Amino acid sequence: MTKRLSGIWHAWHFQFALSSVVTALCGSFCIACLHPLTRRYEEYGYQITDNRK
């Protein structure tokens, strides 16, 4: 394994470990962050209303 390949593997492992920790700490909130903003609010029953007159 070359130095370049080992660096790529370390970066991938760091990103995977970090995402695992954040998911464990935040729970379903992180899953909601994966969806586009409008779909996230629709899934949880929030309605976006425009209160302008």
> Taking the model in full, what pTM does it have?
0.37
For 43-52, what is each residue's pLDDT tens digit? Answer: 455 455 555 5
Per-residue pLDDT, 10:
73
Answer whether residue 8 is part of any domain.
no
Q: What whole-number distance in Å separates Cα of residue 23 and Cα of residue 45? A: 22
Q: What whole-number distance in Å separates Cα of residue 46 and Cα of residue 48? A: 7
Number of domains in the chain: 1
Residue 3: CB atoms within 10 Å: 7
Q: What whole-number distance in Å separates Cα of residue 39 and Cα of residue 11? A: 31
* Runs of H (alpha helix) within the chain: 3-26, 28-33, 37-43
Answer whether residue 11 is part of any domain.
no
Percentage of residues of the chain with pLDDT beyond 90: 0
Domain of residue 27 covers 18-45
